[in-house]
Each structure stands twice: as C-alpha cells, then as structure tokens.
Amino acid sequence: MSIPRLDRDDEVDELPPDIAAKARALLKSLVRPHLAMAIFLALIVVLTALMLVIGPVFIADALDQGIPRAVDGDTGPLITAVSLFIASAVASAVLAFTSTRLVGITAQKILFTLRERVFTHVQRLDLGYHEKSTSGRLVSRQTSDMESVQQFLSYSLFDTALALLQMIFIAVTLIVLDIPLAIVVFAGFIPLFFITKAAHSTQRNAYRRTRTSIAKVIVHFVETMGGIRAVQAYRRQPERRGTLSDQDSRYRDANTDALRGVAWFAGWTRLIGNVTQTVIIVVGAWLVIEGWTQIGVLAAFILYLRRFYGPLDELVQAFNLYQSASAALEKIAAVLDTDPEVIPPSQPHSLPAQDSGQASGRSVDLTHVRFSYGDGPDVLPRFDLRIPAGQIVALVGATGAGKSTLVKLVTRFYDPTEGRITIDEVDLRDLDDAQLRSHVVMVTQESFLFAGTIADNIRIGNPEAGDDEVIAAAKAVGLDGFIRRLPEGYATDVKKRGGRLSSGQRQLVSFARVFLADPDVVVLDEATAHLDIPSERLVQNALATVLEGRTAIIIAHRLSTVEIADRVLVMDAGRIIEDGTPADLIAGTGKFAQLHRAWKDSLV
Amino acid sequence: MRPLLRFWPDLRSRIGVYILVLVLTLLANGIQLVVPMITGYIIDGPIAHRDLSALWLPVLGVLAIGVAEAVGMWARRMIVAPVVSGWEIMWRSRLFDRLQYTSVAIHDSWESGQLLSRAVNDLSQMRRFFAFGLPFLLSTPIVILVGTVMLSILQPVFGLIMIAMAVPTIVSVSIFERRYRETSRRSQDTIGEITTEVEESIQGIRILKSFGRSPWAAERFSLVSQKFKGLEIRKAKLDSWFWSVLLLLPTLAQAAIVGVGTWGVVQGWTTIGTVVAGVTISMVLRMPIEMLGFLLADALMSLTAATRYWEVIDIRHDITDTDGSVDDDPDVGSYRGALEFDSVDFHFADTDRLTLHGLDLRIEPGQTLALVGATGSGKTTLASLVPRLQDVTAGAVRIDGVDIRDMPVNELRHLVSVSFEDPILFSASVAENVEMGAPGSDEDEIWTALEIASAKDFVSRLPEGLGTRVGEQGLSLSGGQRQRLALARAVIGRPRILVLDDPLSAVDVDTEDRVQRALREILPDSTTLIIAHRPSTAALADVVAVLDEGRIAALGTHEQLLESSPLYRELMGASAKAEAHTTDAHSWEGGRR
C-alpha cells in the first residue's frame, strides 16, 4: 500500500547546542540559595574525611602501644587510645547522621524548587507550544528526569566530595611518606585522565540516549492509556505492544550501553589502581633493598594505596550518576529555556474601573489584525472589528473560516502577527495576565475535569466562591439535580466512586464555571455540542440572563444560538462577509438569509 | 518479601548468568581479604630478607589477582547490564499488556499517573536493585558471616562480641524496616500523584489558561510536591538514624575486641597476635556492615516498587474470551448483524444504582436505530456494551442470537465498529489513524471512508494530505475535524455493526445530514446504532428509541414518536411554543454549497 508513513524517528525535542552550559547554569542557580548550607556541608565533609583517616591511627596505637603496656600493667595508654577511638567513632556517626539528614533535606528542597519552576514555566508557555508538544514528554521531564537528578543530588554529591577529599588527604600523606613512590602513584593518573575524558563523552552520549528514549516510551504509554477505549475497540493491542517494544528496545540498548560504559570505566580504573600497586611493590622493594626507603614506609604506603584507590570506585559511580543527571538536567533546562511567545507585559496596564454593581461589559477592538500560525499562510489576512461594550456577537462560518483563531486572539492564547487587539482601549499585550483572565473568559470545546470533587471543578471559575455560589451556578445551568443524586453530592470525587460524568454533564460543568467567573467578556467556542436540546435550551436561557450587560463572542454552529445575539458576523476565509443584526440579515438577501430560510423549512 | 520472590521465574530463566554475577560479586569481596595477606607476606618475606629473586612470584600473584579483580568487576557489570535492562523492559511490556486488556471500568478507577509511575519509576528502581542491590545483599551477609566465623575460630569471645552487636543491629533493622517501608510506599504513591497533577495540568491547559487558573494548578501541584518532599526527607531522616547506628556498632565492637582482648592477654587466655588479627578482621567487616544500611533501604524501596508492580499485574481481566484469555486475532464468523439487548441491567462496580434497568431493544440487520435521551440518561453506557468495553450486569446483548460474551472479544470487536463522543486520535498520520478501522485498506478505501465522513475536503487541504501527522504529537485539528476522522475510522471496512456515539456533535447540522445520507447509501448492510441529539439525525433513522430511566421508554419512527411521545417531543425541542427555535437548522456550511 502506498500510504505515506511517518518517520518514527522524528526527534521532536532536539536540544540546543549550548544546552550543557545552560544545564550547568541551571544547577548553579539551584544551589546558590543553599550556599550557606553547602559551606556547612563542606565543613562536615572535611571533618568526616578527617575522622576516616584518624580513626585507624588510634586503633593502631592501641595495638602497637596500648596492649603491650597494658600487659605490663600500665592500662593508661590503652584506655586513652581506645577512648579516642570510640570518640572518633561516635564523632563519625554523628557526622554521618548530620550529613545524611542535611544532604537529604537540601536535595529535596532543591528538587522541590526545580519541580515548581518547571511546572510554572510550563504553565506560562503559550498554547502554540502546547499544541506542538505532548503531555507525555513534559511528564517525563517531571518524573523520570527528576528521578535522575534526585539520584545524583541525594546519593552522590556528598560522597563525591568526601571521596575527593579523602584522596587528597591520602595523597598528601603519600608525598610526606616517600616522594619517589608518590610519583609512581601519580603517574597512574595520566592514563586515568584520558580514560575519564573518553568516558565523559561516551557516557554523556549514552545517557542522553536513555533520556530521549525513555521519554518516547512515556509518550507512548500515556497515549495508549489515555486512548484505551479506542485501543480496545479497534484491537490495536498488538500494534501498540509492537511500538512499545520498539521504543523500549532502544531504551534498553541505550541503558545497556550506559551500564557497559560504567563497566569499562570501572574496570580500567580498578586495573590502573591494581597495576600501580604492583609497580609500587616492585619499585618499593628495590628502593628498600637498595636502602633508599625504609621497610615500614613501604608497608604504610601499600596500606594507604589501597585506601587511596578505594574512593575511586565511588567516584566512578558518582561520575555516572552525574552524567545521567546532567543528561536529565539538560532536558529540563531545554524546557525552561523555551520562551513563551505570548509574553506578559513588563509594565502592565489596568483596565479602567467600572461602576460597581453596574455591569456593562467591555468594548473589544481588532485593528488591522493579521495572523498566521508560524510561517504558515495567513488565517486572518487583514481584520478589523469593533465590538461595543455589552454586545453579544455570534460568529458563523464554515470550518477553517477563522472563527476559532479569532477567539484565540481575543483571549490572547496567541498574539496577532500584525495589528493590535484592545479591550476598553488597552492593548491585550499590555494587560496584566491575571486581570486579563478575570475579565475575559473562554469556554472551550473540550470540557476537562480535574481530579477532585465536583464542587472544586466548578470552583475553577472562581476559587474564592462559597458553597452557595457554587450551587447557584450549578442550578443556573441545570446541573444541581444531577449532582444531588450523586453519592456524595457536591463532594463527590469526579474520578472516583459514582462520579462519572457524561460529556454533556461535563459541558454543563464548564458553563457553571463561567457563571462563577463573572467576566466582562465571555467567549464561547462551540460549547453546547454535547447537550441534548432541552439542556441546551436551559443553558441558552441561562446564558441570555448571564450575558446581560457583558460582551460576548459566541461561535455558533446552530442558528438557535444566534437567537440570543445582538449581532451576527458571517466569516469566510478569514474575512467578515456579512455583519448585522439577526433581523437585518434575515431580511436581506445574503448567505445568512438563505440559511435562515432553509432552517425555517426544516422545523418539525 | 513475597512481591520480590515472585520475580523468581524471571531470575530462574537467567539463573546461570545471575549466579555468575553473584559469584563474581562474592569473589570481589573475597579478593579484598587476600591481597593484604600477600602484600604482608612480600614485605615480611622477600623484602625483609632483601631477596629479589623470591619477589617475582608473589608480585606476579598480586598482579594476577589485581588484573583478575579488574576483569571480574568489568565482567560482572558487562554481564549484568543487558540482563537487567532486558528485565526492565520485559516487566514494562507485561505491565503494559496487562493494562491494554484491562477493562475500561478499571482503567477509569486508576489515576493515570499511578499507572505511569509504576511503569517507569518503580521499574527503574527494580532494575537498579537486581543489578547491584540484590547481588550485594546476598553476598554481604555471607562475608559478614564468614568474618564472624573466622573471628570465632580465632577467639570465641570475639565471635560473641560480634554476635552481641548483632542484637542492637537487628532491633534497629526491625524498627527501621517497618517505618521505612511505610514511608517509601507513601512516597512512591505520591510520585504517582505528582505524575497525575502534571498530566492534568498539561491536558487541561486550555481551561487553566482560559480562567487564568495556572496559579491554582501550581498550588495543587505544590501541595503534592511538598508532600513528596516531606516523605523523602523523612526517608533521609530514617536513613540518618539507621546508617549512623550501622556505622557506630562495628566500631564499638572493635573497641570491645581491643578492650576484652587486652584483658584476655593479661588473664592469659589469648595473645597479642590474636587480638591484632581480630581487629584486622573486624576492620574488614566494617565496610559490608555499613553497606548493609544502604542495601536494606534499597531493598525496601524495591519491595515497594515490586508490590506496586504486582498490584497492576494482579488486576483481574473481566472482559475476556470464554477461556479467560484474549485472542488477538480470532477467526471472524459470518453474521447478519441482528443486534439485540435482552433484559439488560447495568450498574457500575462501585454502586448499586442501575444505570440501565431491564432494557430490551432489537435492531434488525442493516437497520439504523437512533437512540435519544437526556444528558446522563445512559446512552454512552448502552453504546459501550456493544463492543464489550463494559459488560452487562444482568441480561445479555446478542448478535444473531449469540450472546456476545460467548464470542471471542476480538471477533466481536471486528464485527462492531465504534466512534466515540470524545474522538481519540493517535500520534500517527491521517491515513494510519483511519486505516486502524480495517488494517490493510488501500488508499482508495481510505478516501472513500473520508468521503463518507465528510472529511475528504479538509484532509486534502492539509499540508501533507493523508500523510499529515495528527494526534497529540501532530497537527492540532478542531473538534469537528477530529470527530470526522474518528468517524472515517469507524466506517472503513464496512463493519457489520456500527455504533456511533454522538459522532458529530461538534459538526454543523448539514454536514451531519450529508454524513448520514452517505452512510445509508454506502453502508446499507451495516446495522447502525447512532446516539443523536438532533431531530435531523433522528428523522433519517429507520427507528428511534428513547432512553429514559435506564429503559427504552418509546420506540418508533421519528414521525410516530413526535405524535405519541411527549418526552420525545421535549427532547427534540418540539414540545414548546412556536418560538422553539432551538430546533436545528441548516447551518452555514450547508448553505454555501
């Protein structure tokens, strides 16, 4: 079959080239508020490392000096050494206790900030972004990517610092003990440096692949579960399973590569450590035999060497968690780096005040407006429209005539490509967003319910509304009777027990929201589609009352809606081709008049 | 432990490899003990005697062991990587598949984020556990045990000291275990809530933006996020207690060994050398004991993850073939398409209130029946019974006299095509979305289906025509456009039975009218159940049924019902006065033609 297929490898979320730097900047900005804590933790790191080095000294002292002296009857040195040892152990425990706690708390604070920042930023992004992006991808940023960052912050950052410090302490000890031998040890750092460098690039690559591929898995999962009705009704399970397994195979391969990258890195590191140890023994033996080094020094050296390379394993582990976290942080940074195209004003203006209790609506003006989505063709080539305060306007026209676009502009979901849109002479782009949203409210085609009670869902119209106001709104749209029959009335959880709402009822909830919101300008986008005729009539009657004294723009698919309008705009190809009162247009000879006659003929 | 033990069959299928991993882990731990012994020998022997020739053999030994250790470490990770990565996606595909066949009613009772967090966060936790946690959890106690035995052989009193230390360790383990498990369960559930909040805030973005309620959503998110933070901090605090106890106890044991040992030397029942050896061994034991804290926390989180995984896998599939499974591709028999509801009762699982009550209805082969009823009267529920998205709670739905529960589910779904009130499009091309209705259709058939659905014009105007990507990851279409594509999917392949749940609510009346006429002309043999709100739709149907109070209140043609049924007249907007202008009219789109 010759149907064009899509390339499934479309990489939607390609990262900007300087994303690594941006991720680092993001990390810095997250850590900065906790600088004091970071310094305090650094202090704890130093003390912990110190205890780790000191503890064994006391026990060695107890063994070397304490016991023989105690056997001779002098228990003093032994008691001192053992007491010091116990003290250092207790100090270590207290330090570990404090650091685990503080690291946990700080890491969670940072993650909390990051989560909130991403959430509010995503909310700020314009509708254009959301229409291109998928919920699954953004969900993966907030869950799977956050998890990677958490792994690193909670389990690795502190240990990395500790391991590094321990190595520094021991390095200093080694130099003090014997410089030539220390040079042998440090020579091992040369191959280590190159291995780390190589691992850095391969691991970063692998972890980026894991992040991208798991995001795709999440997108597919979310889409399948969200569309489970269609999946089952159309027997899509085998195909969906196939796609999951394709995408998951990529994730598995990326993950395997990343883990194997760790294997190589860890293996090489350990090999270098162990070879260095052998070389030290040989060189040390030679030095001792030649008389240049003392045997005790060599013994100590070998002991410390083992402890020197011990933390290196932890560093390898931390290095990989870091790579994974930074790949995740890059993805998150890319979201935060996306600027909304609809930007809130830097110096917001306010709408002129109105007489209280005297609702009169607001005037809406579109002046020389041109609009196209991105680089696409003009949807509205040149548009001028003046809607006086309090007017109810019905928009009529075929799909693609530009009705939806027009209302998206009036509600500032998009900004016009050219021209300006004003409410009471204030440009929408200069209007404070909170104010805009409280004055201009739109009821969309979809009626989405949020988890929570039905009252909460209605209250989206106005979170401050009291119970009686919520009930009044529900009554106005004819929802009250239904709600009262629910198991827990207004407190019924819409997604749980007994709370199933039909699409018609969901639409009524949307209307109830508008009643509560009490805006100056109401925009209704084909919002009565799912209602039966009696309910629709009820809503329209209620609307006629509520729209009194407000400006309204209604996209009408049914001429019945037009009945409540003061003015009808007939749109075609982004232009207004008829404009007048319903009566005038019906009396005329235009398209609307033809429609109206056809409708009259079809009355039952 | 049971949830973790239930993974045994998976483990067993790769048991050879996994045992190798365990052995390598154990060896890595063992080598830690051997190398110091050899280096000690070298220093005390060849070097002390300045005997270079005797040096080479033990040095080669050290080198060999060193290389072996590095190779072993490399091998362990190389081997375990594909195994655990493979397990992770295998578990996910099981979870996914379980959910794909789980009935819609059960899906509706789960928060979407809870499913996703199980499929992603919990499974990656388990991958990490099986890669590192488990091998070390299994080998660490062995090391501790061997160490304790060595201590006991060396000097029974030292062994007793270690055992005495085990008592507070076990006590703190048990305190820690209970609290940590509870907290980790709540924390992982909260991840699910976070996921749900994020999903909803994006899927409901238009509403949030319309009402300027992003701050409200942010506050809700902040609440769960805060809760998660609190739980994770509680985990960190539990960790801090537990880990510091595990850090302290072995060091106290060491101090005790020194103290008691010295007393023993004085008393003469032990020697200095024994004490030194005892301390050395206990020093080696510190690391594994300290690690135990981390391993235990990891195991508890994995236990929670496993519990959450099995909760999904254990979901009972209630809509299946007669043998309890679901055949993806059963043979499809030949049916005439008589659809019959016989004394059908339906109530949702969590309530006794009957949505449908003793409902009888019969649609003859090829007949079109329009189902009308008030908002919330149960029309959608009735429609969902036909493809068995839900099952009747009493009575039966039959096709040509066969109870649909006796047919393979997918044979039924092959016969029945559905279009939903909320059109569901997948992220794929227009062609792929339509073709889903009848896989293997050619381009002509797709165009025909689009034509029936009145979608041909707008599809041909799309930037890439049939190849245009739609769905969440594609071009955003209007509600009416989405509905028409979903309808094209339902009609392609000329299904025996067509169930259309208010398929064109977002489309103007004239288009709807055209669609209906096309359906009658092109699909005269399909039995059609169409949920309708408008007189124009009802008028075109062969029969109209009025649904009220869970049963069919009236049945007849549009004209007959207008005569006889006041309820129907009211629903059609015709009962009221002359100004009952709410009746549908031809809209603009029709008028232009």
Which of B313, B328, B358 is at the close of a domain? B313
pLDDT at residue A172 greater than cutoff 50: yes
Which domain does B563 fall in, by range? 339-424+481-592
pLDDT at residue A446 greater than cutoff 80: no
pLDDT in tens, A296-321: 787 777 777 777 777 788 888 888 89
- Residues in B closer than 8 angstroms to A234, CB to CB, are 413, 436-437, 489
pLDDT at residue A603 greater than cutoff 70: no
| Together in a domain, B271 and B357 | no
Domain annotation covers residue B433: no
pLDDT tier at A72, thresholds 50, 70, 90: confident
pLDDT in tens, A557-589: 767 777 788 999 999 888 899 999 988 888 888
| Together in a domain, B290 and B381 | no
Give the whole-angstrom CA distance, residue A490 versus residue A487: 9
pLDDT in tens, A280-290: 888 888 888 88
pLDDT tier at A178, thresholds 50, 70, 90: confident
pLDDT at residue B590 greater than cutoff 50: no
| Together in a domain, B292 and B357 | no
Residues B449, B488 contacting (CB under 8 angstroms): yes
Q: Is B121 on the interface with A (CB under 8 A)?
A: yes
- Residues in A closer than 8 angstroms to B265, CB to CB, are 67, 70-71
pLDDT in tens, B273-302: 888 888 878 887 888 888 888 899 999 999
Q: What is the pTM of this model?
A: 0.90
Q: What is the mean pLDDT of residues A71-80?
A: 85
Disruptive mutation site among B38, B136, B210, B249 for chain A (greatest number of A CBs within 10 Å): B210
Please report, for residues A149, A229, A490, A493, B317, the alpha-carbon distance to residue A498 in angstroms, rounded to integers and kept in the order given: 39, 20, 12, 8, 21
Please report, for residues A101, A418, A579, the alpha-carbon distance to residue A367 in angstroms, rounded to integers and kept in the order given: 60, 9, 17
pLDDT in tens, B383-431: 999 999 999 999 999 999 999 999 999 999 999 999 887 788 888 899 9
pLDDT at residue A267 greater than cutoff 80: yes
Scanning the structure block, which residue is given the tokens 């309910």?
Answer: A535
Stretch 256-285 of chain A: residues touching chain B, C-beta under 8 Å:
256, 259-260, 262-264, 266-268, 270-271, 273-275, 277-278, 281-282, 284-285
- Residues in A closer than 8 angstroms to B85, CB to CB, are 252-253, 255-256, 259
A204 φ, ψ (degrees, to nearest 5): -60, -45
- Residues in B closer than 8 angstroms to A560, CB to CB, are 581-585
pLDDT tier at B79, thresholds 50, 70, 90: very high
Q: Is A531 on the interface with B (CB under 8 A)?
A: yes
Q: In chain A, pLDDT over 70 holds for what percent of residues?
A: 94
Read out DSSP for A273-295? HHHHHHHHHHHHHHHHHHTSS-H
In this structure, the strands spanning A426-427 and B543-548 are unpaired
Q: In chain B, pLDDT over 90 holds for what percent of residues?
A: 54
* Closest by Cβ to A222, choosing from B199, B272, B509: B199
Domain annotation covers residue B229: yes
Q: Is B407 on the interface with A (CB under 8 A)?
A: no
| Together in a domain, B61 and B126 | yes
Give the whole-angstrom CA distance, residue B387 versus residue B434: 18
Beta carbons of B202 and A92 less than 8 Å apart: no
- Residues in A closer than 8 angstroms to B194, CB to CB, are 115, 142-143
| Together in a domain, B227 and B371 | no
Residues B77, A267 contacting (CB under 8 angstroms): yes
pLDDT at residue A40 greater than cutoff 50: yes
Q: Give Cα A309 to chain centroid, integer Å.
A: 39
Stretch 441-480 of chain A: residues touching chain B, C-beta under 8 Å:
441-448, 450-451, 460-461, 463
Q: Is B437 on the interface with A (CB under 8 A)?
A: yes
Stretch 45-84 of chain B: residues touching chain A, C-beta under 8 Å:
46-48, 50, 52, 55, 59, 62-63, 65-67, 69-71, 73-78, 80-82, 84
pLDDT tier at A60, thresholds 50, 70, 90: confident
Disruptive mutation site among A71, A117, A234 for chain B (greatest number of B CBs within 10 Å): A234
Domain annotation covers residue B464: no
Residues B356, B550 contacting (CB under 8 angstroms): yes
pLDDT computed for residue B421 by the predictor: 79
pLDDT computed for residue A10 by the predictor: 40
pLDDT computed for residue A528 by the predictor: 64
- Residues in B closer than 8 angstroms to A458, CB to CB, are none
Disruptive mutation site among A74, A222, A262 for chain B (greatest number of B CBs within 10 Å): A222
Stretch 41-60 of chain A: residues touching chain B, C-beta under 8 Å:
55-56, 59
Which of B279, B313, B347 is at the close of a domain? B313
pLDDT at residue B553 greater than cutoff 70: yes
Q: How far does A94 lie from chain B, in Å, by closest CA?
A: 7
Residue in A closest to B479 by C-alpha: A445
Domain annotation covers residue B465: no
What does the buried/exposed string (b/e) look like for A126-152 if buried means 16 or more CB atoms within 10 Å of the residue's CB? bbbbbbebbbbbbbbbbbbbbbbbbbb
Stretch 137-156 of chain A: residues touching chain B, C-beta under 8 Å:
138-140, 142-144, 147, 150, 154
| Together in a domain, B291 and B152 | yes
CATH number at residue B87: 1.20.1560.10
Q: Which residues pair with B475 in a beta bridge?
A: none
Domain annotation covers residue B513: yes
pLDDT at residue B576 greater than cutoff 70: no
Tokens, residue B389 = 């998205």
Q: Where are the beta strands (DSSP E) in B437-491?
A: 469-470
Residue in A closest to B320 by C-alpha: A232
| Together in a domain, B579 and B526 | yes
Residue in A closest to B92 by C-alpha: A248
Q: How far does B149 lie from chain A, in Å, by closest CA?
A: 22
Number of domains chain B contains: 2
Q: Is B271 on the interface with A (CB under 8 A)?
A: no
* Residue among A392, A387, A395 nearest A556 (CA): A395
* Closest by Cβ to A63, choosing from B84, B210, B279: B279
Name the strand (E) or helix (H) holding A206.
helix A189-226
Beta carbons of A86 and B69 less than 8 Å apart: no
| Together in a domain, B500 and B420 | yes
Domain annotation covers residue B451: no
pLDDT in tens, B338-383: 999 999 999 988 778 888 999 999 999 999 999 999 888 889 899 9
Q: Is B207 on the interface with A (CB under 8 A)?
A: yes
Q: What is the mean pLDDT of residues B202-221?
A: 90
pLDDT computed for residue A357 by the predictor: 58
pLDDT in tens, B217-248: 999 999 999 999 999 999 999 999 999 999 89
3-state secondary structure of B590: helix
DSSP class of residue A384 equals E
Beta carbons of B258 and A482 less than 8 Å apart: no
Which of B313, B348, B377 is at the close of a domain? B313
Residue B96 or residue A304, greater confidence: B96
| Together in a domain, B528 and B568 | yes
- What angle do helix axes A295-337 and A146-155 make, rounded to 10 degrees? 150
pLDDT computed for residue A203 by the predictor: 92
Domain annotation covers residue B434: no
| Together in a domain, B494 and B373 | yes
pLDDT in tens, B102-155: 998 889 888 888 999 999 999 999 999 999 999 999 888 888 888 889 889 989
Name the strand (E) or helix (H) holding A250.
helix A237-290
Q: How far does A171 lie from chain B, in Å, by closest CA?
A: 20
Q: Is B513 on the interface with A (CB under 8 A)?
A: no
pLDDT computed for residue A499 by the predictor: 58
Q: To the nearest whole number, what is the mean pLDDT of chain A? A: 86
Give the whole-angstrom CA distance, residue B140 versus residue B291: 8
| Together in a domain, B489 and B379 | yes
pLDDT at residue A184 greater than cutoff 50: yes
Q: How far does B176 lie from chain A, in Å, by closest CA?
A: 14
Domain annotation covers residue B457: no
In this structure, the strands spanning A392-397 and A418-423 are unpaired
ipTM score for this prediction: 0.91
Q: Is A583 on the interface with B (CB under 8 A)?
A: no
CATH number at residue B563: 3.40.50.300
Beta carbons of B104 and A229 less than 8 Å apart: yes
- Residues in B closer than 8 angstroms to A448, CB to CB, are 200, 203-204, 206-207
pLDDT in tens, A319-364: 889 999 999 999 999 999 999 988 888 888 888 887 665 667 889 9
| Together in a domain, B231 and B110 | yes
Residue in B closest to A270 by C-alpha: B70
SS3 readout for A167-182: HHHHHHHHHHHCHHHH
* Residue among A324, A138, A246 nearest B127 (CA): A324
